Each structure stands twice: as structure tokens, then as C-alpha cells.
Amino acid sequence: MGPLSLDLRRRVVAAIREGGMSCRAAARQFKLSYASAIRWAQATRERGSFAPLTLGGDTRSRRVEAHADYLLRRRRLEPDLTLAEICARLERTRGEKVSPSMIWRFCDRHDITYKVSRRTRASRTAPTCSNVDGDGSTVNSTSTR
């Protein structure tokens, strides 16, 4: 269910402020929950508006964007840093604790891509995994005998 109409909110807040009703009495009169009337009255006092706040979206990106100059410079100087290393450096140097997913979203917004590359080239002549038994079976770490 979406937010209730602004007209209903306006009438409830007017009954509380100008009519001198309590939040609970106004909620009973307009047949809505006590919590809604209390929240709308509180929002009017704190924000000056009873309008609903926007739903969803990215609410934390401005924390990371505040350090964009540092992050972009770090990317130029050390392009091989992992997301976890970037988080650790940002916390150590700037005191901002962020998660790897926040850094990932920052990179996505700034079109920074990471290519996953192998550390060594695959061998064509030698086996790339060790087979302890040497019997030719394909044994992995989860196999049992």
C-alpha cells in the first residue's frame, strides 16, 4: 500500500494543530492508525512538512561521493587494488567506513571496470591441479573415498 493522500494528511494535522485534538483522537476520527497520526504530527514539527518521504533509492552514495577525488586518484596510482583493500584504505586515511558493495556501486557510477585476469597462464603440457594418488582419477576437495 502506498502513502496516504496529502489531503487526508493535511486534515489530520490541522485537527491536531488547530483543532487542539490529540493524535489518537484525530486518528480515531479519521479512521487511521495511531502511528500514522503521530508520525505526521511529528514530521510537521521536525521537518515542517507532512508529505511522505521518497521511497527507495540509494541513500548512502553521497558518503562515498564525498571522497571521489581520493578514490579516483587511488585507482590511477594503484589499479590492482581489490574492493576490500580500497575500503580499508579509505577507512585508514579518511576515517570513512564503507562496504565493498558501496565501492562497487561507486565504480559502476564512474564507469570503472575491473578485469579479472589469471595470475598465471594455463599450462598446455603440465597438469594444472595436483593429483596425489596418480591414478588418473579426478579428485576434488569435496570428494570422499
Q: How far apart are CA 124 and CA 137, in angstroms?
A: 19
Whether residue 112 is predicted with pLDDT greater than 90 in this model: the reply is: no
Q: Is residue 22 part of a domain?
A: yes
Q: Which three cell numbers stand for residue 2?
A: 502506498
Q: Is residue 145 part of a domain?
A: no
Q: Is residue 126 part of a domain?
A: no
Q: Is residue 121 part of a domain?
A: no
Per the structure, how many domains does the chain have?
2
Phi, psi at 123, each rounded to 5°? -85, 140
What is the pLDDT averaged over residues 16-23? 93
SS3 17: helix
Domain co-membership, 36 together with 71: no
Q: Is residue 141 part of a domain?
A: no
Q: Is residue 89 part of a domain?
A: yes
Domain co-membership, 71 together with 39: no
User: Which residue range is the domain that position 12 belongs to?
Assistant: 6-47
Domain co-membership, 71 together with 98: yes
Using pLDDT thresholds of 50, 70 and 90, give the confidence band for residue 57: confident
The confidence score (pLDDT) of residue 69 equals 94
Q: How far apart are CA 49 and CA 67, in angstroms?
A: 32
pLDDT digits (tens, 9 = 90+) for 42-54: 999 999 999 988 7
